Structure 1
């Protein structure tokens, strides 16, 4: 295998024997001078083909330690779960862990609720969520709240279902396009659909719609933070309301204030980076 471009010390862009590009994870593979031939393939722990461009930026934005934790917990999941996982699970989980850690540092009073329903419905996935926060504690010395067990468990639930159930995907894609158009109209801008932050927003929308379909919306009692963001970001609030109303018309379910809060956070992020 030819290693052609360093992403970090443990991640690199490579070419296989057929000349196909891939991203490989392995201790120290990004350290030698590029390009070089890697003959000891036992050093490779994971490979990813045909990655979307926004994942490359994710690799550069998220600390290597968080990717290592994400990779470790996904490998454990592949052993414990009998179903196949979405191959991008390492990236979506790392993105979530980074967001959870940042949110906890910036909004220490933000409270989330551990879901005993999720624990009962998805015991193996809940166990994986518990393992994930224990790894974060052990390796990063950061204690995430128990509520993260629930949200991480749902990542594993969704990672299985995304491969097996695609019946509603065209409708979801259409709904996401309509939500994006609402943002463009609200802020009189044109979103870059190839942008990393836009793709992160789309990922959030997919989980948001899935939670509504499964009647598992966030109800986290974050009213003070919600009111603060509503006051400080009125355009993002109005836009989140418009998106929630569109989704309500389509799915016949009203969004909670906590779901609106997460929408505002993501809308602010993509607008800031779009400008």
Structure 2
């Protein structure tokens, strides 16, 4: 292999039979220059991505320690084994960057609290379990005390990679919407949905909201008889009022419109919460 560019002391860009790859190995970039030959035995890892990803990886490795790349690779391997599926290749770059950035913040005494953690744990249960393992792994191998707030961020990255997204915009939006709805319901009903005795009801509500957003995205709405809707309005006026407040929030803040059927179904869930809080 021929060296095309030195990224850092332990990482170089090589030409392998006309294909660009990033080669990593202890000291392989030291005292080397363009067009020098690189022996296969000196390479510990070889990364091949599509052109855009390759360029991003080169830029990243020129700025950070490659140990974060190795850690991200290990986490992805673990995730793919647990989930039994391949994840989007862009996750390697995104996760490496996140791990390195978080490490620097921790070193600087900057601890970022993840206010969406409870919702992430419910919405993305499989990904969150993997992310918890990842936090323990990072703390042990890198020697930096990553917090469980980071598990929430890592879970979102993994979830986005499962859905084929190259960024986590949609996942973050979904969690943020659910969190905003939870806060509105807590405020309107004057209850604490995060209390231990409300755990099951809270979980059911979060899952319902996740499915509601999925139905909206897929334009596959739930059906409810008009008679049932009128009965809900009559029997659960307080809960139906809160459901209408949720509809206002979705339209005003997120430009999402809900059907009358979805509104009635949501009111039923809210009524369960209201009754549970008064027991």
TM-score by length of 2: 0.54
Match of 2:136, SS state, is helix
- Offset of 1:92 from its aligned partner? 0.5
Is residue 157 of structure 2 the alignment partner of residue 155 of structure 1? yes
Q: Offset of 1:97 from its aligned partner?
A: 1.5
> What is residue 82 of structure 1 aligned with on the other side?
84
Provide the C-alpha distance between the structure 2 equivalents of 1:16 and 1:144, rounded to a whole number of angstroms. 37
Structure 1, unaligned stretches of length 5 or more? Answer: 164-204, 220-246, 254-275
Alpha-carbon distance, 1:107 to partner: 5.7
Structure-1 separation of matches of 2:150 and 2:101? 11
Contact 1:12 1:29 (8 Å CA) reproduced: yes
Tell me what 2:213 maps to.
none
What's the CA shift for 1:55? 3.8
**Counterpart for residue 23 of structure 2:** 24
Q: Which residue of 1 aligns with 2:32?
A: 33
| Alpha-carbon distance change, 107 to 128 in structure 1, aligned in 2, over 3 angstroms | same
Tell which has more relative contact order, 1 or 2 (C-alpha 8 A, sep 6+).
Answer: 1
- 2:94 maps to 92
Which is higher, the Rg of structure 1 or of structure 2?
Answer: 2
129, 132, 157: which one aligns with 2:131: 129
**Unaligned 5+ residue runs, structure 2?**
181-250, 258-279
Give RMSD over aligned pairs: 3.4
Q: Residue 4 of structure 1 contacts residue 15 of structure 1 at CA under 8 Å; is this kept in 2? A: yes
May I ask how many residue pairs the two structures share in their alignment?
184
Cα pair 2:159 2:171 within 8 Å, conserved: no
Cα deviation code 1:132-157 (max 9, x no counterpart): 22232113321122111111011011
In the alignment, the residues of structure 1 paired with residue 253 and residue 120 of structure 2 have an alpha-carbon distance, to the nearest angstrom, of: 27
Q: Would you say the 8 A contact 2:24–2:45 is kept in 1?
A: yes
1:74-223 equivalence runs, <5 A: 74-106=76-108, 108=110, 110-113=112-115, 115-162=117-164, 206-213=167-174, 215=176
| Matched residue SS, 1:162 | coil
- Change in 2 beyond 3 A, CA 1:28/1:71: farther
Q: CA deviation at 1:120?
A: 4.0
Say if 2:44 is the partner of 1:50.
Answer: no
Alpha carbons of 1:211 and 1:44: their partners in 2 closer, same or farther (altered >3 Å)?
closer
> Secondary structure, in 3 states, of the residue corresponding to 2:87?
coil
Taking a change above 3 Å as real, the CA distance of residues 250 and 130 of structure 1, as seen in their structure-2 partners, is closer
Equivalent residue, structure 1, for 2:266: none
Alignment check: 8 A CA contact 2:23 2:43 kept = no
How many angstroms apart in 2 are the aligned matches of 1:212 and 1:114? 11
CA contact (8 A) 1:3 1:12 kept: yes
1:3–1:38 Cα contact (<8 Å) kept: no
TM-score normalised by structure 1 residue count: 0.54
Where 1:63 maps in the other structure, the secondary structure is: coil
In structure 2, C-alpha distance between the alignment counterparts of 1:141 and 1:215, rounded to whole Å: 31
Distance 1:121 1:250 in 2: 19
2:114/2:152 contact within 8 Å kept: no
SS at the partner of 2:86? coil
CA contact (8 A) 1:213 1:251 kept: no
Equivalent residue of 1:84, what SS? coil
